[in-house]
Structure 1
């Protein structure tokens, strides 16, 4: 007889950590919209990715046949790295990319949505990731249509909500 998996499995613990980190990071960004906020995001990203790596090194991870989750870590490392680079570039010198800085909250909603969609490709079932990814992409479109004033608060709220939804749906 097989014992049921605990509710707070590796994935759900990681989702919860990222929900908290996203809420903190985007709230800070909403009220401190300067280039040096990227240092906070670097720390947040290292904490979140470090926690993911720590979870995937646990014995329960190896014995549960979850090796495919290494690809999840790779997907998110690439998505976060690309996002960080594109978030810093608008503030480096006088380049055409400076025009992108007012849209970074929208960019991150789309970037997180893309990450969820890609995550769905490597971690079945796909539908929960595609739903949460779609919600974030639509929230980015809504920010463009109805105003950018609160885009970082929206990104934090929707990003955290997406992670919390994954706890329930995945």
Structure 2
């Protein structure tokens, strides 16, 4: 693609200066953290095909939210514990994965799942004024330790030592 020339009359590329513009929705007192979404290594797009492939599903059987260990400590959330993420548009429940590779003010979740685990229910449909692309990759959220699931038959039981 474009090995010899670009698809312009003179074959030269065109660059345009773009000034940074922060997201429409930024963290505040009610939603103090920034959520970013993306792909997991094991799944593709909505996951409707990759979640049917045993090896890929075994690699990542459920969505997780990556949380910096410092933030997890402040929230009282252990690695593997369920958390509740809330935005102005919706909520999702998923397990925490502690990751020092993410900023302490930011959480990451993949978009390959549906139902009560769909992170897309939280994202912001606000459009960029220039590209008209929605801001699905950046919104303000609150993160809390999830209450026990009353439908979980093991809820309240202690793990064997």
TM-score under structure 1 length normalisation: 0.30
Point out the structure with the larger helix share. Answer: 1
Q: Greater CA radius of gyration, 1 or 2?
A: 2
TM-score under structure 2 length normalisation: 0.31
Point out the structure with the larger strand share. Answer: 2
